[in-house]
Amino acid sequence: MRDIKFRAWDSKSKCMFTPPIVDCDGKAGHFLDNGVPMYSLYEMPVMQYTGLKDMNGVEIYEGDIVCHFNDVVFRDKKFHIERSYEINVVQFHYGMFCLSVDDELPMGLWINAKECEFEVIGNKYANPELVPELVK
């Protein structure tokens, strides 16, 4: 069983925070602090925890920018042992967390593959300069 966690980006204070609880009343959800609504879900982007961690043990959330290291490269119709990397943004698409909207492989399969390593290097709100052009 995986943890269900959320975090939100507060654009006013330019910081990420983890709300204690989310209450949805059918009309609008609110982050609660000791039972008192603090922020509406419509005021800030909410990101869900993927249930996965990077190579350093950091939890990976939707919206995180990850560097994907790979030791196997396919070039000239052959696999080569070579260190390479890609930078992608974690997205929820087609009912799964993936690295791009064109990705047909769930992120968990990528992360659990022995030849791949992932490292969270930021998130798309706090570090927009790291977001690859193809994702923007």
What are the pLDDT tens digits along the chain (136 aa)? Answer: 678 888 888 787 787 877 655 555 544 566 666 666 666 666 778 889 988 888 899 999 999 999 988 777 777 888 778 777 888 889 887 788 887 656 566 666 665 555 568 899 999 999 999 987 655 5
* Helix (H) or strand (E) segment spanning residue 50: strand 46-53
Query: What's residue 24's pLDDT?
Result: 56
| Token pair recorded at residue 102 | 């064109």
Query: What's residue 11's pLDDT?
Result: 80
Q: Distance between CA atoms of 115 and 62, rounded to whole angstroms?
A: 23
CB 31 within 8 A of CB 39: yes
HSE-up of residue 78 (Cα within 13 Å, Cβ side): 4
Q: How far is CA 15 from the centre of its chain?
A: 16
- Cβ partners under 8 Å of residue 102, min gap 6: none
Burial of 16 (0-12, 13-18, 19+ CB in 10 A): middle
Query: What's residue 134's pLDDT?
Result: 53
Q: Is the pTM of this model over 0.85?
A: no
Query: What's residue 4's pLDDT?
Result: 84
Q: Distance between CA atoms of 118 and 67, rounded to whole angstroms?
A: 6
Question: How many residues are given for the chain?
Answer: 136
Query: What's residue 70's pLDDT?
Result: 73
